[in-house]
Amino acid sequence: MVMDKNYRHQDVEQRIYQGWGEGGYFTPKIDEKRQPFCIIMPPPNANGSLHIGHAMFVAIEDILTRYHRMLGEPSLWLPGADHAGILTQVVFEKELAKQGKTRQDLGREEFYRQCYEFSQKNKQYMYKQLKRLGASCDWTREKFTLDPEIEKVVMETFKKLYKDGLIYQGERIINWCPRCSTALSGLEVEYKEQEDKLYYLNYGPLDIATTRPETILADVAVAVNPADKRYLDLIGKKAIVPILKKEIPIVADQAVDINFGTGALKITPGHDLLDWEISQRHNLPALIVIGPDGKMTCVPAVFEGLTTNEGRSKITEELKKQKKLTKVEPYKHSVGTCERCGTIIEPLISKQWFIKTQPLAEPAIKAVKSGEIKIIPKRFEKIYFQWMENIKDWCISRQIWWGYKIPIEGEEDTLDTWFSSGQWPFATLRASPYKEDFEYFYPTTVMETGYEILFFWVARMIMLGLYTTGKVPFKTVYLHGLVRDAFGEKMSKSKGNVIDPLDVADKYGADAVRFALVWGTAPGHDQNLGEDKIRGMRNFTNKIWNVGRFILLNLENKDVPFFDLASQDNVLQSEDKKILEDLHKLIKTTTDNLHSYRFGQAAEDIYEFLWHKFADKYIESSKKRVQEGDLVVLFVLRHVYLNCLKLLHPFMPFITEELWSKFERLKKEPLIISPWPKES
């Protein structure tokens, strides 16, 4: 067969992918006699395009799916997209702002309709990107978190939780985003280090320290630690709130940090999570002086309507006048911000809907402790337990228009997006067009995702999966790290170090991008990626191509039989035996590595064998025998190379399928469904 001198991925990848799709190779056939493999894709948010972090999960999940498919297991990789609640609404509102419009201009129904169209357009583009990267998902089972079939499952879960008394409405202090005008769960708050000021204020018999003097108008007590000897004589007495000149009690509570400021803490239950908890123990009231819009309210007229920053300045001026501001010093601390828009969070008391999580957390903890669910790497189990054992009730109501409306009469709020995505494994299979899917594929085999959403998503899937189905949603959780630039820096547009996966796939080929992403990785560790690394893997594809071209040129017009290696021991030379022995070891170690989720090690081993042991050493040393027409060496070359293509296929599916097809005399099935190499 005539082969081009150089490998041109531009001429191959689209044609190969189309052939796989037309062959139906992505759609598994249910076989009750075989153990299935199933992975549900973490649904990317349908509000933009995929980034290099998405390409990482594509590479890993496709490696797993292709490997298990070649093992002969009915293998399902179910794709989908997430409506992504608040984040999509924020992104779409920015698009509207460019047109000079707001969601209020459209009204809720029209806003929802346009937002749906926006998400569908993005979803289709993302699917195009997934296909471009070689994702062998079953597109006949594709799902969107707002699909009617998914909605039915989500609402059934809500009704069951409500009926069982696990959903309740209550007034509590919650994280509030003034920009998004909605409540946030603790996991949706991103903490950032910030240089600020610490203000020392006189409260009569004692001084307190605070970063938020604007909230003193809502103070209801001062708390000290009962172990702090400085204040023992003041417990039970009165402090005086400056400006208001109001008396408030001095209480003792062990939650007070003796080493912060003066060791005396002003208690403002309406605007601080810790203060709220302390107030509940001491039966203290809660006052509100900051509204949902982030402005001062229910305060003296001089402060009414000011932003929190304006209020801070104005109140500080007044404290100076009254000589109640005793000291100001620089203070570096962690400030909560909205994960979606970056606005500083305002703790507010609000009536919201909650899920009682402790009854759900207990079986979820047990499932991991018993080994029914395995987390890789294991060190994340400790982090999982710490969070689950101290879990707070989950605020599931959001004051937005995009998403599922809470199914209670008269309710206008929507459900937290993690409530629906937390049901993703069982909802997708129950909503499948194939009736047998849930019984056959659930529990799924593995959930592969980033370690940063272990609590956001993985823990909630385990809780809701066990509660709704009585079974764990998956048997293994594999956590990958973040993709950073070549120097270990976080990628961001402002730094100019972002890598667009499609740009580099067009330039170097999807196989090179995939291989570069897994090369050198370890479970749960961040991965450094630069264009030089991708270019190096493109060079590897050229090497693979040139080796195949060399072998095919020398097989041309020669009838090379398929020997039984066991019966040919006497004709094999020492170099033949050595390369065959090394191949046997490679098959075993690659199989072990893939079973153990050591993708980086598997990639490095294949690279080392194919480039150095096979190409540089064996092929170079056997060229004289090849020129002499030695059929044994030609057989060994072909045998080793074809097995290498099989081992490499999950990592580099396009070039391996193309090269496999060049060996026409084999009259074989496509590589995507060829059997995995045997160790013997």
pLDDT digit string (tens) for 51-85? 998 999 999 999 999 999 999 999 999 999 999 99
Q: How far is Cα 405 from Cα 413, in angstroms, rounded to an integer?
A: 6
Cα angle 131-134-135, degrees, rounded to a multiple of 5:
70
Radius of gyration of the chain (CA): 31
Q: How far is Cα 460 from Cα 421, in angstroms, rounded to an integer?
A: 9
Residue appearing with tokens 């050493």: 617
Q: How far is Cα 533 from Cα 539, in angstroms, rounded to an integer?
A: 10
Name the nearest CA neighbour of 636 among 539, 540, 571: 571
Helices 599-607 and 631-648: crossing angle in degrees, nearest 10, is 160
Burial of 387 (0-12, 13-18, 19+ CB in 10 A): middle
pLDDT on residue 300? 83
Report CA torsion sign: 47, 49, 50, 51: negative
Q: Which CATH superfamily is domain 528-673 in?
A: Isoleucyl-tRNA Synthetase; Domain 1 (1.10.730.10)
The strand pairing partners of 209, in sequence order, are 200
pLDDT on residue 4? 85
Six-digit token string for 153: 């499952």
Count CB neighbours of 667 within 10 A.
6
Q: Secondary structure of 440-452 in the HEC alphabet?
A: HHCCEEEEEEEHH
Alpha-carbon dihedral 304, 307, 313, 316, rounded to 10 degrees: 50
The strand pairing partners of 330, in sequence order, are 197
pLDDT on residue 543? 97
Six-digit token string for 312: 């801070």
The three-class DSSP label of residue 21 is: helix
Count CB neighbours of 279 within 10 A.
23
Whether 226 contacts 327, CB under 8 Å: no
Q: Which CATH superfamily is domain 182-348 in?
A: Valyl/Leucyl/Isoleucyl-tRNA synthetase, editing domain (3.90.740.10)
pLDDT on residue 256? 93
Whether 497 contacts 475, CB under 8 Å: no
CA distances from residue 613 to 345, 555, 575, 618 in whole angstroms, order as listed? 58, 21, 11, 6
Name the nearest CA neighbour of 471 among 482, 460, 462: 462
Residue appearing with tokens 């001084």: 207
pLDDT on residue 45? 93
Whether 365 contacts 359, CB under 8 Å: no
Count CB neighbours of 309 within 10 A.
11
Which residues in the chain show pLDDT less than 70?
Answer: 1-2, 187, 492-494, 566-569, 667, 680
Classify domain 31-165+356-480 at the CATH topology level: Rossmann fold (3.40.50)
pLDDT on residue 242? 95
pLDDT on residue 269? 92
Cβ partners under 8 Å of residue 343, min gap 6: 177, 178, 179, 180, 337
Longest CA pairwise span in the chain (Å): 104
DSSP, residue by residue, 249-292: EEEE-TTS-TTSTTSEEEE-TTS-HHHHHHHHHHT------B-T
Return the domain boundaries, the chain. 31-165+356-480, 182-348, 528-673
DSSP letter at 34 equals S
pLDDT on residue 567? 64
